[in-house]
Amino acid sequence: MKSPFNLSKPIAIGSDHAGFDYKEDLISFLEGKGLPFTDFGTGSRDSVDYADFAHPVAKSVERGESSLGILLCGSANGVAITANKHQGIRAAVCWGEELAKLAREHNNANIICIPARFVREGDAEKMVNIFMSTAFEGGRHETRVNKIACA
């Protein structure tokens, strides 16, 4: 798979309890593709706070330690809001393939946030595959993306 991301660096992945099963499925998906990853947790379906897993994923992408990030929670809103507090992070909530593609093409998103309670089994893998393989279009979108940062 050709990717605009440097996939020799690990992919950062994390979830809360609501996204745990899909996170485990995505880890198997990444392993099947031979892609390196860092699992920032959670490690079970026990109730946890999504920010405890979103911050480490975002920090890893922000610092350039990871090529991209994958975050999951029930609605994906909590992990997206948390991740987007970090400079240089553009975390996008995606619940379909077209949104995953547009998040990359138009917003140069570097973290995909998947709402586990609203996505069918198997769709998360499709979205991640599209996210990893879609390039940022630049042009008029680059002008807009460059206006996102507050600093």
Catalytic annotation on 106?
yes
Largest CA distance in the chain: 44
Question: Which of 73, 86, 94, 113 is the catalytic position?
Answer: 73
Catalytic annotation on 150?
no
Neighbouring residues of 120: CB distance < 8 A, sequence distance ≥ 6: none
Question: Which of 55, 86, 94, 106 is the catalytic position?
Answer: 106
**Helices 123-133 and 97-105, packing angle to 10 deg:** 20
Give the pairing type, strands 91-93 and 111-115. Answer: parallel
**Helices 123-133 and 20-32, packing angle to 10 deg:** 50
Known catalytic residues are 73, 106
